[in-house]
């Protein structure tokens, strides 16, 4: 895998992440060894349950503070305060070791998780969904590397038998992380976008009620946490039974967390980005519950302390690398106000509620089954299966969240350019190809009493004023009159008026209009306007004919036909469209050579026809995509690509990458390039 040098913002975030995880790795070694030195392993379920309840209360307080102060203020201060608290816990350990063991357990189990959530909330607000995919892997990877260093320090300090020195190091690391985050927020302030303020008292409850997506994320966190808690209990109880207490136990946990940290770095460096790019978020996140379920099944057949240590290590590695990278990306489409309200609650309450449920299950099984070893493993496998199902469901929900995010951020874009607006305004897309000369008006026919022939005679009069008056009066109900109006479409004086008349009767003459459109020998000046007439017909035959012209050799015909289909389906949603055929056409357009793309983009204006939009190829592709994907998010994505809002552009690109087939996305990414994304969109002028 080729390593790209991180930008300044990502580098600063990586520094803070490394310090944070280094501290947390050391803190976990201290927590586990101190508690198991002063309490038996059977006390773990009770302590975990109490700590889980404390964590829920802490997460609620943290969420309120984060919502009131924003993550860029809350996170640095919270890390500094945490470091000071650890110095106090170190002093308490001298005089009251059992009480200190409980306080340390509560701090590491609850407060550290709130701090981690605040860190990732800060990252989520700084990065858009697309840039987050590139940056979060590096940030999490540096965190895992920090975990290695923290584990090595913990092992060496524990080898010297000084748990007090190790606690002092953990306090310094948290204060250093707070300082790094303070520097990060000062150098890279958040460009807050305008969001609708809410005065609702129960904001958290309202956010969760209106967002099933966030509830699914919470359910995923709970299920994988229950499984992890069950496996963790087995692992710690077996460690306490097989390893001498005191410094030996501290060294074992330090070595364990260091080893898993090394493996986590390798996984993050060589697999995380590739998994996210190739298989998507759902598969990447699914790796954790799948591994626990499969490994648990193996332990049911071959149980041993070594095998159990490997399973617990695999869970820790995947959680800190693949799962963490994918899970945090699930939050990127969520509006900042909603993230501040619920993210800490979901992260902390979800994980700690899972721990509480796991502890309850362990306690119950210990009462019913003595050691409860096999039932605990079975329960871990069952909850991992639930997590696997939820992770797969989130794939669809993520797309919906991206669509919702694009729509919610559309406020500043409402007055901007969109797709297909000329159909409603009556503006005709200008062309750059030569227009066929208007047909000479034939000599007037002989006088007749037939009203249709009389009307036709007036329309074909060599006197232009008489012809225009007749055109104004005509209802175009008769096919002969309709045919004559079709011929007028190429006329310099009559064209627009004839077009308006034909739009009113399009439903009655779909066959005639469609046949004219499909006849390639017809003048281009006539064919180019028929799609805009058929757009008002509300006919399935019109849709079928327009789909056929999406393969026309002339780009302008294809361009207009796509918008006409879009208009038809907006006004008549029951009309059927074959999505497979449209996707084939999209693939064909995406494989147009770059030279052709540039020729369309840079076509010179012609005196009599106006100018083709500078991004016609891009606009046409999005018009096609709007036929097979939800129209509003596609329209907003098209607009977003032409804004200077980095977060909005990133959301649009992430949405496109998620909903498009892999080959289609790669081709589109190559064609549009950074130039196309950043260039301003030319507004289409009306044709005179």
- Cα 43 from Cα 50, distance rounded (Å): 11
Examine residue 456 and state whether it is found in any structural domain, yes or no: yes
Q: In this predicted structure, what is the pLDDT of residue 676? A: 40
Q: Are residues 379 and 448 in the same domain?
A: no
Same-domain check for residues 646 and 671: yes
- Do 82 and 142 belong to one domain? yes
8 A C-beta contact, residue 685 and residue 674: no
Q: Which of 211-220, 292-301, 483-492: highest mean pLDDT?
A: 292-301
Within a domain: 499? yes
Burial readout 377-396 (b: 16 or more C-beta within 10 A, e: otherwise): bebbbbbbbbbbebbeebbe
- Residue 594 has a pLDDT of 60
pLDDT of residue 454: 76
What confidence tens digit (pLDDT) does each residue in 6-53 have?
Answer: 778 888 888 988 889 888 888 888 888 888 888 887 787 788 888 878
Three-class SS of residue 382?
helix
Name the pLDDT band for 389 (thresholds 50, 70, 90).
Answer: very high
Looking at residues 472-491, what average pLDDT do you find? 81
Q: Angle 62-66-67 (CA atoms, 0-180°, nearest 5)?
A: 120
Q: What is the DSSP string of 252-293?
A: HHHHHHHHHHHHHHHHIIIIIHHHHHHHHHHHHHHHHHHHHH
- Rounded to whole angstroms, the Cα distance separating 65 from 59 reads 10
Do residues 643 and 649 make contact, with C-beta atoms less than 8 angstroms apart? yes
pLDDT of 386 reads: 93
Distance CA 451, CA 375 (A): 92
pLDDT band with cut points at 50, 70 and 90 for residue 373 = confident
Asked if 489 and 563 sit in the same domain, the reply is no
Domain boundary among 464, 487, 522: 522
The reply to whether 375 and 515 lie within a common domain is no
Higher-confidence residue of 202 and 115: namely: 115
Which pairs from 664-668 meet CB under 8 Å and 24+ separation?
Answer: 664/583, 664/586, 664/587, 664/590, 667/587, 667/590, 667/591, 668/590, 668/621
Q: How far is CA 348 from CA 113, 115, 287, 341, in A?
A: 6, 10, 21, 13
On whether both 473 and 543 belong to a single domain, the answer is no
Q: What are the tokens at 171?
A: 């306090």
pLDDT confidence of 200, banded at 50, 70, 90?
very low
As a whole number of angstroms, the distance between CA 116 and CA 384 comes to 23
What is the C-alpha to C-alpha distance for residues 476 and 376, in angstroms, rounded to an integer? 80
348 within domain boundaries: yes
423 in Cβ contact with 535 (< 8 Å): yes
Retrieve residue 360's tokens: 């309850």
Angle at 321 between CA 315 and CA 326, to 5 degrees: 105
- Domain limits at 629? 539-688
Residue 518 within any structural domain of the chain: yes
Same domain, 516 and 543: no
Q: Is residue 146 domain-shared with residue 207, that is, in the same domain?
A: yes
Tell me the backbone φ, ψ of residue 607, rounded to 5 degrees.
-60, -40
- From CA 118, how far away is CA 394, in angstroms rounded? 23
Percent of the chain with pLDDT strictly greater than 70: 81
Cβ count near 201 (within 10 Å): 7
* Three-state SS sequence of 165-234: HHHHHHHHHHHHHHHHHHHHHHHCCCCCCCCCCCCCCCHHHHHHHHCHHHHHHHHHHHHHHHHHHHHHHH
Q: What is the pTM of this model?
A: 0.62
CA distance to 137, 199, 204, per residue, from 354 (Å): 26, 32, 20
To which residue do tokens 């790669």 refer? 666
Q: Are both 503 and 567 inside the same structural domain?
A: no
How far is residue 349's CA from residue 60's CA, in Å, rounded to a whole number? Answer: 8
Query: How buried is residue 123: exposed, middle or buried, by Cβ count under 10 Å (0-12/13-18/19+)?
Result: buried
Mean predicted lDDT score pLDDT of the chain = 77
Residue 497 belongs to a domain: yes
More confident residue, 638 or 685: 638
| pLDDT score recorded for residue 211 | 73
Report phi then psi at 610, rounded to 5. Answer: 85, -150
Pick the last residue of a domain from 359, 389, 408. 408
How are the residues of the chain apportioned to helix, strand and coil, as percentages rounded to the nearest 5?
75, 0, 25
**For residue 161, which of 315, 349, 33 has the smallest C-alpha distance?**
33
CATH number, residue 175: 1.20.1250.20
Number of domains in the chain: 3
Higher pLDDT, residue 470 or 557: 557
The answer to whether residues 338 and 394 belong to one domain is yes
Residues 672 and 592 grouped into a single domain: yes
Do 515 and 546 sit in the same domain of this protein?
A: no
In terms of pLDDT, which residue wins out, 408 or 17?
A: 17
Q: d(Cα 523, Cα 413) in Å, to the nearest integer?
A: 38
* Range of weakest confidence among 89-93, 103-107, 333-337, 581-585: 333-337
- Select from 87, 79, 275 the least CA-distant residue to 174: 79
What percentage of residues in the chain have a pLDDT greater than 90? 9
Domain-terminating residue out of 358, 390, 408: 408
**Token pair recorded at residue 535:** 């757009």
CB proximity list for 502: less than 8 A, separation 6 or greater: 476, 482, 485, 486, 489, 509, 513, 533
Give phi and psi for 606, each to the nearest 5. -110, 145
Other C-beta atoms within 10 Å of 1: how many?
10
Establish if 632 belongs to a structural domain: yes
Residue 621 resides in a domain: yes
Mean pLDDT of 298-315: 88
- In a domain, residue 415? The reply is no
Express each pLDDT in 221-251 by its tens digit: 899 999 998 998 888 888 877 876 666 777 7
């Amino acid at each position: 895998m080729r390593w790209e040098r991180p930008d300044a913002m990502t580098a600063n975030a990586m520094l803070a992440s490394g310090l944070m995880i280094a501290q947390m790795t050391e803190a976990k070694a201290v927590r586990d060894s101190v508690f198991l030195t002063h309490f038996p392993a059977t006390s773990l379920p009770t302590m975990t349950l109490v700590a889980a309840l404390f964590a829920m209360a802490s997460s609620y307080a943290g969420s309120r503070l984060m919502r009131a102060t924003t993550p860029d203020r809350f996170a640095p201060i919270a890390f500094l305060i945490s470091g000071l608290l650890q110095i106090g816990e170190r002093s308490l350990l001298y005089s009251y070791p059992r009480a200190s063991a409980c306080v340390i357990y509560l701090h590491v189990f609850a407060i550290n998780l709130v701090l981690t959530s605040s860190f990732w909330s800060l990252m989520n607000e700084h990065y858009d969904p697309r840039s987050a995919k590139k940056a979060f892997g590096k940030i999490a990877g540096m965190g895992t590397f920090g975990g290695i260093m923290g584990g090595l320090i913990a092992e060496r300090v524990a080898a010297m038998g000084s748990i007090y020195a190790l606690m002092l190091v953990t306090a310094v690391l948290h204060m250093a992380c707070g300082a790094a985050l303070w520097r990060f927020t000062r150098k890279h302030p958040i460009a807050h976008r305008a969001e609708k303020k809410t005065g609702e008292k129960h904001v958290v409850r309202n956010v969760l009620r209106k967002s099933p997506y966030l509830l699914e994320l919470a359910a995923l966190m709970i299920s994988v946490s229950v499984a992890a808690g069950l496996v963790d209990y087995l692992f710690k109880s077996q460690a306490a039974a097989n390893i001498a207490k005191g410094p030996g136990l501290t060294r074992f946990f330090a070595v364990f967390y260091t080893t898993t940290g090394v493996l986590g770095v390798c996984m993050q460096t060589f697999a995380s980005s590739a998994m996210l790019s190739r298989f998507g978020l759902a598969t990447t996140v699914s790796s954790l519950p799948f591994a626990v379920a499969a490994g648990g099944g193996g332990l049911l057949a071959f149980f041993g302390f070594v095998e159990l240590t490997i399973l617990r290590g695999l869970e820790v590695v995947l959680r800190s690398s693949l799962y963490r990278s994918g899970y945090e990306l699930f939050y990127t489409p969520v509006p900042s106000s909603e993230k501040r309200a619920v993210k800490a609650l979901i992260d902390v309450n979800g994980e700690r509620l899972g721990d509480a449920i796991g502890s309850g299950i362990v306690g119950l099984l210990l009462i019913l089954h003595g050691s409860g070893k096999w039932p605990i493993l079975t329960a871990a496998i069952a909850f991992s299966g639930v997590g696997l199902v939820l992770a797969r469901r989130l794939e669809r929900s993520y797309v919906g969240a991206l669509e919702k995010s694009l729509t919610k951020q559309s406020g500043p874009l409402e007055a901007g350019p969109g797709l297909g607006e000329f159909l409603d305004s009556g503006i005709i897309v200008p062309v750059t190809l030569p227009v066929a000369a208007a047909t000479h008006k034939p000599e007037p026919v002989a006088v007749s009493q037939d009203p249709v022939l009389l009307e036709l005679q007036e329309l074909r009069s060599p006197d232009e004023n008489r012809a225009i008056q007749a055109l104004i009066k005509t209802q175009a109900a008769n096919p002969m009159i309709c045919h004559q109006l079709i011929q007028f479409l190429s006329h310099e004086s009559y064209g627009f008026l004839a077009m308006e008349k034909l739009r009113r009767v399009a439903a009655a003459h779909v066959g005639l209009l469609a046949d004219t459109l499909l006849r390639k020998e017809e003048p281009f000046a006539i064919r180019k306007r028929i799609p805009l007439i058929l757009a008002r017909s509300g006919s399935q035959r019109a849709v079928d004919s327009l789909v056929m012209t999406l393969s026309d050799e002339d780009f302008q015909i294809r361009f207009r036909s796509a918008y006409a289909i879009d208009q038809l389906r907006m006004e008549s949603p029951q009309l059927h469209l074959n999505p497979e055929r449209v996707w084939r056409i999209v693939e064909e357009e995406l494989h147009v050579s770059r030279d052709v793309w540039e020729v369309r983009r840079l076509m010179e204006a012609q005196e009599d026809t106006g100018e083709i939009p500078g991004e016609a190829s891009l606009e046409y592709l999005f018009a096609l995509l709007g036929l097979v994907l939800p129209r509003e998010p596609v329209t907003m994505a098209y607009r977003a690509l032409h804004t200077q809002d980095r977060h909005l552009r990133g959301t649009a690109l992430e949405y496109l990458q998620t909903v498009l087939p892999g080959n289609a996305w790669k081709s589109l990414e190559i064609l549009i390039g950074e130039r196309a994304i950043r260039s301003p969109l030319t507004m289409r002028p009306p044709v005179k």
